[in-house]
Every structure is written in structure tokens, then in C-alpha cells.
Chains A and B, each alone.
Chain A
Amino acid sequence: MQQLSTTRATALLLAVVMVTAGCGSGALRSVGSPTDQRPATETETATRMPSTTAAGAVPNAEPAGPDATPSISSTSTTTPTVAAVPGSGVEDIDLLLAGLDDALAELDQLLNQAAAAMAAEKGEIIP
């Protein structure tokens, strides 16, 4: 039973790390561009996480810090808690928001430029 809890904690930790890392960085990218494929792939990886029972099955997972949740092979008898997430996971969540905020700022700038272009119609008046 403890081993099952440990597995869940590990899965949770890795899910947070992988999920947020997949969405947190990079500027707005166009549909179909080469770099656009990466988040989708990483999302798929994260989506597959529930059926993963071994940490080693997750490619490119960030190395766990000293406070990381015990791995599946651990013999630790401590009860894992949800709060036992290393700081790097939280930073990745922040990256998720920062990435969205950067993209939104870029979008706002383009919306303003479009509004300014609409207002410039008076330039067509014949002098």
C-alpha cells in the first residue's frame, strides 16, 4: 500500500514537472512551425503519465532534488505528501504563466497596431 502511495507521489511530481515544463517557455509560435511541435509532444508525454509506474519510463525528466519524492524503487517508509514538490516544479509553473503572459503582451501589441491602422483611414483623403 505504501509502495502504491509512493508511486502516486512520484507520478504527481513528475507530472507537474513535465506538464509545466512543456508549456512554460518560448514566444508565440505559428501553427505548423517546427518549434510548434514540441509542446504537443510534451503534452502527450504528460498525458501518458498516469499509466507510468516507473520514473525511468519518463524521458527527459528533470533530475530530482534532495527533497524529491521517493522513487518507486525507494525503500523509504515515509508517507509521501503532496506538498513534497521541489522548488523547480513551482518555478516551471511560473514559467507556464510567464509564457502565456509574454504571448498575451505580444497579442495586445498587435491588436493595438490593428486598431491604429483602422484609425489611419483618413490618410486616404485627397489633399
Chain B
Amino acid sequence: MTMKRLMTAALAALILAAVPGMAAAQEAPPGERATEAREDQAATAQRQADFVNRLKARALEAIDERLVTIDELEAAIDRSDTVHPGHAGQLNGELRGSAAGLESLAGKIGDADDVETLRALIPKIFEDYRIYAVVAPKVHLVLAADAAGAFAERLQAATESLGDVLNRLEEYGIDVTDAEALLTEMERLVATGTESATAVPGMVLGLTPADYPESTDILRSAQAELQSAGADLRAARENAHVIVRFIRSVVGGDGPV
């Protein structure tokens, strides 16, 4: 009984599978089949054209995003009061070169009309410029490092000034031992912070897109160096606060120390 049912089902499936082919053979004369083939070709060509256009649009969008980023990086350099002029000059030159190259690449991609050409051009957006992987981190690290260096100079001036005041208090017979110890620590922190900050530009300024992906490790090392500088300088500033509170407690002030 079961075998009979299986055979019936198999026969039914065979008939159903054969019917469309038979129907098509009966309904499509040779002329119409040629027309359908041309229509299929046209549809395929349209799909390919649509794909090329979508690919071009995405590529041009990626380029536009990078050009916007380059504008923002240039603005950040212009805004900085602390960036070393030599560093600013080098970074601006590289940014201008990248922008010009990307604009040229955008023109070539806009003119391309086949997938193969686009396959050759689109990777250049990333491989030739590395705006996000190399250029932007490099610019920001250099700006921050130069700012840290300038901050360290202010702290250094503060150590000299505070030391001068402490010397005068000592002349009055005031015990400044603790404050002097803090000042010594502050001077050490400023020195190490300065050393770390000034090392960063030399680590990253020479990086190019061709250095990717090895550049990532170098950038991370530079960032760690910069964070170390920030921590030292922040601690030095805390010492300055404590020393100033001590001075205020000795020379008088407007409020509680």
C-alpha cells in the first residue's frame, strides 16, 4: 500500500516537472525566443549598469567623506596655537597632496563605465591614502604632542616661579621642606612629561600610507607615549596646586586654604 502511494507521488512530480517545459516549447516560436533572448541581454546589461553606478556612487561617497575629513584636519591645524610650525607645514603639505590625489581619483572613477576598471580604481581610495588609518591619527597625535610640550613649558615656568617664592619664604624662616619636595617631584614630572611628548612627532611624522598596517603599531606606541606625557603633566599640575595652597596659607589669602 505504501509502495503504491510512493509510486503515485513520484509520477505526479514527474508530470508537474515536465509540463512547464512542454508548455514553453509549444508557446515560443523561434522568432519570439530570439526576442526574449535580446530582452534578457538588455536586462542583464541594465543590471550591470546599475551595479556599476551603485559602485561608483559608493566610491565617490567614500572619497567625499575623506575630503571632508581632510578639511577638518586642516582646520584643526589652523586652530592650534601650539603646533610646531615645521610640523604644521609638513602635515598641511601631506593633506593637500592627499586631497588633490583623491579629487583626481574621483574624476577617474566618475569616468569609468565597467566593473573591471572600478575594481582597479576603488582600492586606491584606501591603499593610496589611508586617511583614517594613518593620516588622521598622525595629525591628531602631533597636535596633541605639541600641545603637551607647550603645557610642559608653562609648568616649567611655574616650577621656577614657585621655587622662587619658596626660596623667599625660606629666607623668612618658614619651613618649606614639604613644598620643596613637591616642587622637586613636579620638576621631575615635567621633565619626563616633556620627554614623552617631544618623542611623539618623531615617531609618527614619517609614516605614510604605504606603511600600513605596520603603522598601526607605531601609532599605538605613540599614543601610549602621549598618554604617559599627559599623566605626568597632569600630576605636575596637581603638585602646583598643592604648592600654591601652601603659599597662600603662609602669605595670606581671601579664603581658607
A interface list, Cβ under 8 A from B: 8, 11-12, 15-16, 19-20, 22-23, 27-33, 36, 39-40, 43, 46-47, 49-50, 82-85, 87, 89-91, 93, 96-97, 99-101, 103-104, 106-108, 110-111, 113-118, 120-124, 126-127
Contacts and interface: CB of A to CB of B under 8 A. Distances in A.
A111 to B, nearest CB: 5
25 contacts: A15-B168, A16-B247, A19-B161, A22-B157, A28-B81, A29-B82, A30-B84, A30-B146, A36-B153, A84-B252, A85-B252, A87-B254, A93-B247, A96-B161, A99-B154, A100-B158, A100-B240, A107-B230, A111-B227, A114-B143, A117-B137, A121-B137, A123-B65, A124-B131, A124-B132
Nearest to B141: A114
B158 A82 contact: no
A24 B12 CA distance: 95
Nearest to A114: B140
Contacts of A30: 80-85, 146, 150
B149 A31 contact: yes
B168 A50 contact: yes
B157 A83 contact: no
Given A82-B169, A90-B248, A103-B150, 5 more contacts: A28-B154, A30-B150, A99-B154, A114-B144, A117-B139
Contacts of B98: none
- Among B80, B83, B252: residue with most chain A CB under 10 A: B252
Contacts of B227: 111
B151 A104 contact: yes
B223 A118 contact: yes
A46 B146 contact: no
Interface in B142-185: 143-144, 146-151, 153-155, 157-158, 160-162, 164-165, 167-169, 171-172, 174
Contacts of A106: 147, 151
Contact of B82 (A22, A28, A93): A28
Nearest to A116: B140
B157 A43 contact: yes
Given A101-B237, A118-B220, A28 B168 contact: no
Interface residues of B, number: 67
B244 interface: yes
Nearest to B139: A117
Nearest to B241: A97
Given A31-B149, A46-B161, A126-B123, A120 B136 contact: yes
A82 B251 CA distance: 5
Given A31-B150, A50-B168, A23 B144 contact: no
Contacts of A108: 230
Interface of A is mostly: helix
A93 B244 CA distance: 7
A8 to B, nearest CB: 6
B251 A83 contact: yes
A8 B171 contact: yes
Given A23-B157, A29-B150, A16 B251 contact: yes
A22 to B, nearest CB: 6
Contacts of B62: 127
Given A28-B154, A29-B150, A30-B83, A114 B137 contact: yes
Contacts of A87: 253-254
A87 B133 CA distance: 53
A26 to B, nearest CB: 9
Interface in B220-255: 220, 223, 226-227, 230, 233-234, 237, 240-241, 244, 247-248, 250-254
